[in-house]
Amino acid sequence: MTSVRSIATESAIPEPIIVPPFAVISGAQVQRALQGREKQIVELVEAAYRLHGAGDSVNPPSYFLRFPDRPSARIIALPASIGGQVRVDGLKWISSFPENVTAGIPRASAVLILNDHDTGYPFACLESSIISATRTAASAASAADRLSRGRRRPTRVGFFGAGLIARYIHTFLDATGWSFDEIGVHDLSADNAAGFRGYLERSGTAGRITVHDGAEQLIRSSDLVVFATVAGQPHVRDLSWFEHDPLVLHVSLRDLAPEILLASANIVDDIEHCLKAGTSAHLAEQLAGNRDFVHGTLDDVMAGRVTVPADRPLVFSPFGLGVLDLAVGKYVYDEVARSGELHVVDGFFHELSRYG
Ligand SMILES: NC(=O)c1ccc[n+]([C@@H]2O[C@H](COP(=O)([O-])OP(=O)(O)OC[C@H]3O[C@@H](n4cnc5c(N)ncnc54)[C@H](O)[C@@H]3O)[C@@H](O)[C@H]2O)c1
């Protein structure tokens, strides 16, 4: 570590302040740190929701960088700060280029920068598509558990959109004690549906797997519906498909017509965040002229402040909070550091003496 300066306040003994070493953590290291620890990660994500709910976080709106020449693409910046034991600041910078998938590479790519609480210095850059998928799946698994406690526990799951996020969510459901009699899959691409089916079969999951050609069949035959498409506009509009009151994890946020949300119970991760950026919840607010259709947050449910009605569909819309990326990212950093495998870039910060 390089000692930069020490500061003295009038009353306190001077504390040495140091520039932390800067490390780069690869996707392989991230994966090793997270694999097989799904239950622990769900607990960690729930703890981050609690800290956020208690106000021990800063999580400003995400910034969406879009391009006139590439209208389907975007890069999102999620700056955040989390307190508690995690106590770290940072930024997730995540690209979504949906056309990548046809070229055989994942849609999303990302890095996460962690900043030191005391000096503000960045101390790590982590591959973050895995962290992002992991925290999203952990949040979905938590919601599936917490939100099904007051209603019949689902036995038939349906994956609407069968990409990487759907795979991670299935892995997390499986690892946190869910088993299903029926697993439905629906995707606009027959190849992607078949790829996901192949993954399910290889995973050794129990339950009969059915690929549905139609959206209606998938929804009607599932009591837990996971939306993980890349739809930019609502394309599911028929409320009668939901008359069996399923629990819906609306992870892709823009699939459902606002009328469906207005007829459902709604839980979000953060109300301010979720009612933005053209999400179905945002459209529902515009249609209703108020936010009364939102029952509360997942943290409200965990704390018992909100009880969710069981007599209608229940939709969980997680906008995706930067504080979750920080919590999972810091966990990965600590694990890699503990194993002695941090790749430190010596001398990354070079101009450290004010007057040379
Ligand atoms: N809320 C969050 O915190 C959060 C976090 C990460 C990702 N996401 C969202 O999850 C979604 C899925 O991400 P991914 O990495 O799995 O993407 P992906 O491109 O790997 O998979 C998306 C799949 O959806 C299918 N699809 C697209 N439109 C469809 C439609 N109308 N009906 C049926 N299938 C359709 C595609 O063919 C593809 O197989 C994205 O929208 C992403 O923004 C949300």
CA angle 286, 318, 239 (to 5 degrees): 55
Mutate to test the pocket of ligand 1, among 229, 249, 328 (most ligand atoms within 8 A of CB): 229
d(CA 316, CA 297): 9
Nearest to 88 by CA among 297, 324, 349: 324
Q: What is the pLDDT of residue 11?
A: 58
- Tokens describing residue 170: 């299935």
Task: Report the amino acid identity of residue 206.
Answer: A
Indicate the angle between helix axes 27-34 and 129-147, nearest 10 degrees: 30
CA angle 4, 10, 15 (to 5 degrees): 35
d(CA 296, CA 177): 26
> What pLDDT tens digit does each residue of the chain (356 aa) get?
344 444 444 556 777 788 999 999 999 999 999 999 999 999 999 999 999 999 999 999 999 999 999 999 999 999 999 999 999 999 999 999 999 988 999 999 999 999 999 999 999 999 999 999 999 999 999 999 999 998 899 999 999 999 999 999 999 999 999 999 999 999 999 999 999 999 999 999 889 999 999 999 999 999 999 999 999 999 999 999 999 999 999 999 999 999 999 999 999 999 999 999 999 999 999 999 999 999 999 999 999 999 999 999 999 999 999 999 999 999 999 999 999 999 999 999 999 998 98
Q: What is the pLDDT of residue 206?
A: 87
CA of 17 to the centre of ligand 1 (A): 44
Q: Using the 8-state DSSP alphabet, how is residue 19 labeled?
A: E
Q: What is the pLDDT of residue 17?
A: 85
Q: What is the pLDDT of residue 5?
A: 40
Segments of the chain assigned E as strands: 2-7, 15-19, 23-25, 57-58, 63-66, 74-82, 88-96, 108-115, 122-127, 156-160, 182-186, 208-211, 224-227, 247-250, 265-268, 294-297, 314-317, 343-344
How do the domains of the chain map onto residue ranges?
A: 23-131+322-344, 138-317
CA of 66 to the centre of ligand 1 (A): 18
- Determine the topology of domain 23-131+322-344 in CATH: ornithine cyclodeaminase, domain 1 (3.30.1780)
CA of 286 to the centre of ligand 1 (A): 24
Mutate to test the pocket of ligand 1, among 49, 132, 165 (most ligand atoms within 8 A of CB): 165
Q: 138-317 is classed in which CATH architecture?
A: 3-Layer(aba) Sandwich (3.40)
Is the distance from the beta carbon of residue 192 to the nearest atom of ligand 1 less than 6 Å? yes
What is the model's pTM? 0.95
Q: What is the pLDDT of residue 16?
A: 79
Is the distance from the beta carbon of residue 108 to the nearest atom of ligand 1 less than 6 Å? yes
